[in-house]
Amino acid sequence: MPKVNPDIMVWARETAGLTKKDAAKKLGFQDSTRSSAVEKLARIERGQKEPSRSQLTRMAAQYRRPLLSFYLSKPPRKGDRGVDFRTIPQSEDTPEEALLDALIRDIRARQSMVRVIMEDEEEAEPLPFVGSHRIEDGRAAVLKSLRALLGIDVADYRAQRDASAAFALLRKSAEEAGIFVLLKGNLGNYKTALDTTVFRGFAIADEVAPFIVINDQDAKPAWSFTLLHETVHVMLGHTGISAVSAENEIEKFCNDVAGEFLLLEEELGHLALSHSGQISSITERISALARELKVSRAMIAYKAYRSDLLTWETYNQLRISFREEWLQNREMRRERTRQNETILDHNRVRRHRLGTRIIGIVRRMLAADALSTSKAAQILGVKPRQVQPLLDTGSS
């Protein structure tokens, strides 16, 4: 076996979003009288010491890389994100971007495996809605097709008991149309959570196995909008990543279609907004309508701005205010989530994040002996021993 390439170890750690200190802790390195845990890892990364087999195995697990990748002659090219629809250019060297790459790499690997098993089992029928439209078709035409694809309208959506149930209805409709919809905003724990300024949604416009990933670190009322936004990307044939900023024309178009699905143009008039209105009064009206319609306040504010009911300055002030309030409450939400996941069946939480479509295809292929447990584990993002309990505990 050739020696491990030190450059690969540095690349693997950095693209996993880990500092040397974090990695040393995760890998089990300990301080000693002669050197610190960080220095021990640094010596390996400089090529001054060869890692043991057990250390290399732990690196493969913690960095989410195949063991053989550490023997490559040079780091591979950056993972394919598709089109980056984010407005603000992001530095590729930040920890957040490294985490984003790891997440997208994971999703692309799962999508590729799903497509392969569908092809092997002759279930790979092209979906006609993928890439069926162009922006030149206009918002009205794309919106009409979106409603037809999902088979529901805004009245169905609003008839649900709350925003979570309304999202569940949208997700069920999208999955029945053939789209795999996953909720994923971290790499397995809250310390790797990605902010919506880095990533809000990701779409793979594959004609056989289209995937949509929604950042579940976002506010729940915003999930529906993101799902619709990313579905429009799939209908336009776009594979790429979106964030909260939306100043390019493609993002504006997807936002406008998604916004019109959830809130009809004529309904904005009920807000009785004015460019000179007090921010506190506007906030109250938008908040009340958001609760009633089971949508996010930011979406209503954005749509009002796009309809020239708010100035850019007022909209931006509202957007910042809504975000600051959400950030202030985030830690409490995370704590509640951790408590709920302790109380609830952990597999139920996993199934909710994975969605019924991907759970269904794995269950079906395992029953038909068309899929091994290890590959099923890779698709589901769990360990092989967790596959059967996950599938055995009912539907999500």
Whether 87 contacts 248, CB under 8 Å: yes
253: enclosing H helix or E strand: helix 249-262
pLDDT confidence bin for 41, thresholds 50/70/90: very high
Residue 374, burial from CB neighbour count under 10 angstroms (0-12, 13-18, 19+): exposed
pLDDT band at 103 (very low <50, low <70, confident <90, very high): confident
Contact 300, 219 (CB under 8 A): no
Over residues 341-352, the pLDDT tens digits come to 554 577 888 999
| Residues 215-242, mean pLDDT to the nearest whole number | 93
Is residue 64 within 8 Å of 16, Cβ to Cβ? yes
**For the chain, percent of residues with pLDDT exceeding 70:** 88
Average pLDDT of span 248-270: 88
> Does 340 score more than 70 pLDDT?
no
Least reliable range by pLDDT among 10-14, 78-82, 290-294? 78-82
Q: Which residue has the higher pLDDT, 70 or 396?
A: 70
Q: Is the pLDDT of residue 231 over 50?
A: yes
Q: What is the mean pLDDT of residues 228-246?
A: 90
Per residue in 3-28, pLDDT (tens digit) is 788 888 888 888 777 889 989 999 99
Q: Tokens 């984010």 belong to which residue?
A: 86
For residue 131, pLDDT over 90 is answered with yes
- Both ends of the chain: CA-CA distance in Å? 45
Nearest to 150 by CA among 234, 50, 70, 244: 234
Q: Give the mean model confidence (pLDDT) for residues 207-229.
A: 94
Query: Over the stretch 251-261, which tens digit does the pLDDT of each residue have?
Result: 999 999 999 99
Tell me the CA distances in angstroms from 193 to 88, 228, 381, one per residue in order.
20, 23, 16
Q: Residue 260, CB half-sphere, CA atoms under 13 Å: how many?
A: 19
The pLDDT of 359-368, averaged and rounded, is 94
Question: Which amino acid makes up residue 369?
Answer: D
Of the two residues 75 and 354, the one the predictor is more confident about is 354
Task: State the pLDDT at residue 133.
Answer: 97
Question: Which two structure tokens, joined as six digits, stand for 296?
Answer: 């996010």
Question: Would the pLDDT of 354 be above 70?
Answer: yes
- At 91 the pLDDT is 47
Q: Fill in the amino acid letter for 106.
A: D
The pLDDT of residue 38 is 94
Where does the pLDDT of residue 363 fall: very low under 50, low under 70, confident under 90, or very high at 90 and above? Answer: very high
What ranges do the domains of the chain cover? Answer: 6-63, 77-257, 263-329, 347-392
3-state SS, residue 61: helix
18-32, 82-96, 110-124, 126-140: segment of lowest average pLDDT: 82-96
Q: pTM (2 decimals)?
A: 0.78
